Structure 1
Amino acid sequence: MVEILKKITKKVDLFLYFFIVIFFSILIFSCVLQVFTRYILNSAFSWTEELARYSFIWTNLLGAVLCVKKSSHATVTALTDKFSEKRRKKIQIFVQIIIFLVALILVIYGTELTLKTIKQTSAAMKISMALINASVPITGLFIMLYAILNILLLKENR
């Protein structure tokens, strides 16, 4: 089971890295374009700020998935450092279960939000807000995948 999940997550990793690079590139391009048009041409585009904001949302949420994968999210270890290795693993598994449950909430309510905003359009770019809000349930699904993998890996390394 763990080996199958590892193969799946390798492909998901490539997908995530690709789209993080794409969204971050769009973010940088739109910010540079905004500055150039505002200060050099004295006439800014109305859509660049919105594009930067939406790219920032996608970049950060997809980046959060990689933080869960690598367990690089912020932790306070002052208390857990005093526990035995066995107890620390139990705590790590518990934390991954909590992460999974929070991701499940993101999927449930993010999907609800996305479906409610299909017909709502953004102010400047006139795109469906569902394209932006879909980042929440998609992120939740990926976080759930990595939380399961992390739990299995922690149990395997007992």
Structure 2
Amino acid sequence: MRDKLDEILEKSLSILLGLMVINVLWQVASRYLLNDPSAFTDELSRYLLIWVGLLGAAYASGKGMHVAIELLERKLSEKQKRFQQICIRLLICAFALFTLIIGGTRLVVISFQLGQTSSAMQLSLGYVYLALPLSGVLICFYALSDFITLLKNNHGAS
């Protein structure tokens, strides 16, 4: 399941990034070649960047490409390293749960309830903010998946 999710995320991120590039190119072309700047492209590129950034963070977290300080890890025994990795995965999951999933969901709900829309595209901002809980769910999935793998390996090593 994890491999399939990675594949879906890779394709989604590629599409979003491609749309963002096309959007920015259109903005430049309409501004400098046509002398008639497009009204929505600046806003759309901002929202696409939010989605690419948050989904990209979830993807990087799943691939273990996130920033890590390994100074302490180098000095630990294998058993201590596994314990440290288990604690890190639990902290990542807790952060994603409380900040991204719970906080992000509240933001989405409030945005829809208040009817907040973007100025140029008249898009409900709730759709933009959906990137928060979605990336939180993905980060939690990856962290829990790693946690289960670490527990299995820990019991196998015991």
- Identical residues among aligned pairs (%): 34
Distance apart, 1:61 and its partner CA:
0.8
Q: Deviations over 1:3-29 (max 9, x none)?
A: xxxxx2223222212211121111101
Aligned to 1:5: none
1:21 aligns with 2:17: no
Q: Distance in 1 between matches of 2:14 and 2:65?
A: 19
SS in 1 for 2:117: coil
- TM-score, structure 1 normalization: 0.91
1:70 aligns with 2:63: yes
Q: Deviations over 1:65-115 (max 9, x none)?
A: 111111111011112211111101111111110100011011001000001
Residues 1-158 of structure 1: matches in 2 within 5 Å? 8-105=1-98, 106-118=100-112, 119-158=115-154
Following TM superposition, the consecutive aligned residue runs of length 4 or more in structure 1 with deviations greater than 4 angstroms are none
Give ranges in structure 2 of 5+ residues lacking alignment.
none
Q: Distance in 2 between matches of 1:14 and 1:79?
A: 33
The Cα RMSD (Å) is 1.0
Q: Deviations over 1:132-156 (max 9, x none)?
A: 0000001101111110001111122
Q: Deviations over 1:21-68 (max 9, x none)?
A: 121111101111111111111121010011111111111111111111
Give ranges in structure 1 of 5+ residues lacking alignment.
1-7
- TM-score, structure 2 normalization: 0.91
